[in-house]
Chains A and B, each alone.
Chain A
Amino acid sequence: MTIELYDYVLSANCYKVRLLLSLLEVDHELRTVDFHPAREHRSEAFRRINPMGHIPVLVDDDVVLRDAHAILVYLAAAHDPTGRWYPTTDARVLGEMGQWVSFAEALMSSASAARLHVNLGYDLDVEAARRDAHALFRVLDDHLWFQEKAGRTWLCSPEHPTIADIAVFPDVVLSEEGGVSRLEYPAIRRWCDRVKAVPGFDVMPGVFGLGMS
């Protein structure tokens, strides 16, 4: 049975899942949820699929999963024969991936919140969200700059990207929609270019590819 993803095109969290599905070349169907303006994710019908009323939700045969980061873990474990996207044999790498997935959670309440305020009118303290996003970006830029100096390309130690990169990338690359400039973070910008260069990379509205076609 084909994998189904309950999806909204402008959602950064849904994009994380679409991106990994594309990178893994996994066939799937999108079930569009009218997140805005209809708030379909809060509807009774959708709550039968996800009682928490959030997207994305992934359905793979009898596996029904909510939460983008949980879905990334599942997809990498179940559909990546190379085992590279979620390597589980090295304790250090497992810890690193967990650390950056938590970082991605922090982006959701800062960079992502600012974007929801600007794009969809969410009522929140946008200046505080932007300040928090910049504080996180400073940490991320520091980390990526020293990774480059150590000859590393990605968030975690392996020589290839992992789900940590996929979890963090969308809210970073979309930050300017929320008024969080990346002018001060050159290492982040170079890492965004590198993510875009991974074979199978997928775009979304507001996220461009590297080349012109």
Chain B
Amino acid sequence: MALGATFAGVIRRELRLALRQGSDSIMVVTFFVLTVVLFPFGIGPEVNILERVSAGILWVTALLASMLSLDRLFQTDYDDGSLELLTLTPTAMEIVVVAKIAAHWLTTGLPLIVAAPLLAVLLHMDGAGFVTLLLAMLLGTPSLSLIGSIGAALVLGARRGGVLLSLLILPLYIPVLIFGVGAVDAAIHGFSPDAHLMVLGALLLVALPLCPWAASAAVRQAIE
């Protein structure tokens, strides 16, 4: 009971904070949209080229947007000391961390999924890929938040935390990227994306218990 109450309480707190400082979520989506819009300028407006690279662009940009918002996960709470109070809750730290990750996904991953189909239209993505893109992002973006939580917790109190975070996290994001893009490409070329989606699901299922565990270990050693 107390477990569920803590979980819900932390999520409520995180969402309220995100809503009160409403710009944060919007900034992530804005970054996503702006970066995607840069690509046609970079590689030219030809429809067939954009169509070919659309899945990759969307995934890479979503990945970067998700990574850039990771500092909100623990850093602000670490700076103002509330993270220390959260570690004092009688419930296991892992539950608090899972709740924070869930809130992070709700405020960054979900808006990215909402914005993705619109950007797919701008990049002339084949219509066959849309549903798969949404499914793949639904399965993949929670993994991004989960894996990212480890990095976000590890760099607490480090010098140049932001740059360091990208060095730590981007290599670990690569499997999600490979299978996320693979699913969409398979669907566009008329193959079944099921295998890729299942691997994305498997990655999520592996990340779900392991990442909060590692992240809360990292938070604990940062607080000590």
A and B associate: no
